Structure 1
Amino acid sequence: DEKQEVAPDEERRIAEEAGLTYLHHPVSPDALDDELVDDFRRSLDDLPQPVLLHCASGKRAGAMTLMALAAEQGLDGEAAIAKGRAAGVDLTQEKIGQFVKDYADRKSGA
């Protein structure tokens, strides 16, 4: 529901004309759950690498990246949040940051 300069259909067309694979995977912090993240991770596995993720603020894209990395690398929540901070994605004061931490803890068994 965020304001975009380029609509997803137009973004898909532009990406595909450039020879890129495009996946539109909307993320709303209020509707975020394990199933959405797990679905994203499965989709990510099927995409050609490297992958570019983006959103208006970078927080949702950063959160999804951190959760995928945490699950792949077995990181607990604190380690996932620290990895994000080190990369310039500080979610410590964000509601979505708590979800990242909790998701990583659940996936790592912490």
Structure 2
Amino acid sequence: MENLKKINEQLSIATNQVTPTQLQQAAQAGFKSVLNFRSPQEEGFLSDEEKQAEAAGLEYVNLPVKPNGITEELADKIIQQIDYLPKPVLLHCKSGLRSGAMGLMYIAIKENISADTILEQGKEMGFDCNTFPQMKEFLITYISKHSNNH
């Protein structure tokens, strides 16, 4: 599958809106679930993505995230969903930045990695959170609060 960045064995990021063909490819590559961070109101949202994912044998969840509107409650829900979903999970949004940030947040919390370290790792992978300063600030605060490694 093209446009894929692997965070670890459990999580990978699609850096685009996935197509029905890519959902089939993801299932064939061994993915078990898809977590979509796009809002149905966004331009280019695949309206039947849930149906397409399920037809490919993938579990599907849509949790819309706005880069400037993420809350602690939503972040908690994302952590819980990733915990719950069968692995490996394919995370996606439009460009990969939101899904990359949410995937890195999850890894930081679960593996007790500091916000600075995980943001640097993200930057090396091509997820530069400086593009969305509010989201970056949220990640730093949330990870610092919920990780044992400040």
What TM-score do the two structures reach when normalised by structure 2? 0.67
Deviation of residue 98 (structure 1)?
Answer: 2.0
- 1:24 pairs with 2:62: yes
Aligned residue for 2:42? Answer: 2
In the alignment, is residue 101 of structure 1 matched against residue 140 of structure 2?
yes
CA contact (8 A) 2:115 2:144 kept: yes
The Cα of 1:5 is off from its aligned counterpart by: 4.6
Name the SS for the 1:35 alignment partner: helix
- 1:43-96 alpha-carbon deviations (Å, 9 max, x no partner): 111111110011112111111111101100111210110121122211134221
Native 8 Å contact 2:65 2:98 kept in 1:
yes
C-alpha distance in structure 2 between counterparts of 1:80 and 1:103, whole Å: 12
Letter in 2 for 1:80: I
> Percent identity of the aligned residues?
35
- Where relative contact order (Cα < 8 A, 6+ residues apart) is larger, the structure is 2
Could you tell me which runs of 5 or more consecutive residues in structure 2 were left unpaired when the two chains were aligned: 1-40
For 1:42, the aligned partner's letter is: Q
AA paired with 2:124? A
Change (3 A) 1:93 1:13: closer
| Structure 1 runs not aligned, ≥5 long | none
Alignment partners' CA distance in 2, 1:30 and 1:86:
23
Name the one with the larger helix percent.
Answer: 1
The one-letter code matched in structure 2 to 1:14 is: Q
SS of corresponding position for 1:22: strand
Q: Which residue of 2 aligns with 1:48?
A: 86
What is the number of equivalent residue pairs in this alignment?
A: 108
So what's the TM-score if we normalise by structure 1? 0.88
